[in-house]
Amino acid sequence: MKILLVEDDKQTADYIAKGLREHGHVVDQVDNGRDGLYMATGEPYDVMIVDRNLPKMDGLSLVKAARSSGTRTPALFLTTMGGVDDRVAGLEAGADDYLVKPFAFAELLARVGALARRPPIVAQTKLQVGDLEVDLLARTATRGGKRLDLLAQEFKILEYLVRHAGEIVTRTMLLEKVWDFHFDPKTNIVETHISRLRAKIDKGFDKPLLHTVRGAGYVIRTN
């Protein structure tokens, strides 16, 4: 296997790389997140092992950016941050597994092997609800074959809503996922964008898709 190891502690990195190479694997080592992202998105790997605390770019940001760029390489976080919230954050960032330091090398080897044996993930490139279609590669949306003229933030909102079609999406969820706000900015930014988005996807059609659930949030559904 070809493995990318992103670890800034040289002693730990050398120990892991040596062990992996002794088992016949090819290992590329980098000691910071920025170079790790460059390698992860520019070279094909079977697995990447990433520390959480890295200079220049932390591990969470690295994996998130790699996933956003379309990189599907299985990722294992190897870190001292072993709390439940830390594990959840790592998995939500796009990691496939999480191993806490100190660790047994045999377990690391087994987990890497398990990740490599997983069938490849086929990235979904189009989402559809009724006659509304969202093309994730072209970053475009159409309804009834008619292209919708969406601004960047409007497309992000629509993508998130369609990914959660039939589910209520709250204002807080949109602030966090679309604007990366982890606080309430005390503005009507969400309401304004939702209003504009509704006009673009529902105007001229008999059946509305974007619904407001009073006191709860918003939902994309066909009925």
The more confident residue out of 221 and 223 is: 221
- Contact present, 205 and 113 (Cβ < 8 Å): no
Q: Are residues 169 and 104 located together in one domain of the fold? A: no
Relative to beta strand 140-143, strand 132-135 is antiparallel
Domain at 181, CATH number: 1.10.10.10
The Cα 182–Cα 87 span in angstroms is 19
Q: Are residues 71 and 142 located together in one domain of the fold? A: no
Please state, as a whole number, how many other Cβ atoms lie within 10 Å of the Cβ of residue 71.
Answer: 20
pLDDT computed for residue 121 by the predictor: 54
Q: Which of 214, 213, 210, 215 is nearest to 223 (CA)?
A: 210
Give CA angle at 75 (97, 182), nearest 5°. Answer: 80
Q: Are residues 183 and 137 located together in one domain of the fold? A: yes
Per-residue pLDDT tens digits for 125-184: 889 999 999 998 889 999 999 999 999 999 999 999 998 899 999 999 999 888 988 888
Q: Are residues 36 and 130 located together in one domain of the fold? A: no
Band of the pLDDT at 26, cuts 50, 70, 90?
A: very high
Q: Are residues 170 and 95 located together in one domain of the fold? A: no
Band of the pLDDT at 20, cuts 50, 70, 90?
A: very high
Q: Which of 160, 119, 159 is nearest to 137 (CA)?
A: 159
Q: Are residues 99 and 141 located together in one domain of the fold? A: no
Q: Bridge-partner residues for 56, per DSSP?
A: none
Please state, as a whole number, how many other Cβ atoms lie within 10 Å of the Cβ of residue 37.
Answer: 23
Q: Are residues 21 and 109 located together in one domain of the fold? A: yes
User: How is 62-84 classified by DSSP, letter by letter?
Assistant: HHHHHHHTT----EEEEES--SH
Q: Are residues 75 and 142 located together in one domain of the fold? A: no
- Contact present, 50 and 76 (Cβ < 8 Å): yes
Last residue of a domain, one of 64, 86, 117: 117
What is the total count of domains within the chain?
A: 2
Q: Are residues 61 and 139 located together in one domain of the fold? A: no
Q: Could you tell me the residue range of the domain that residue 179 belongs to?
A: 126-220
Q: Are residues 100 and 131 located together in one domain of the fold? A: no
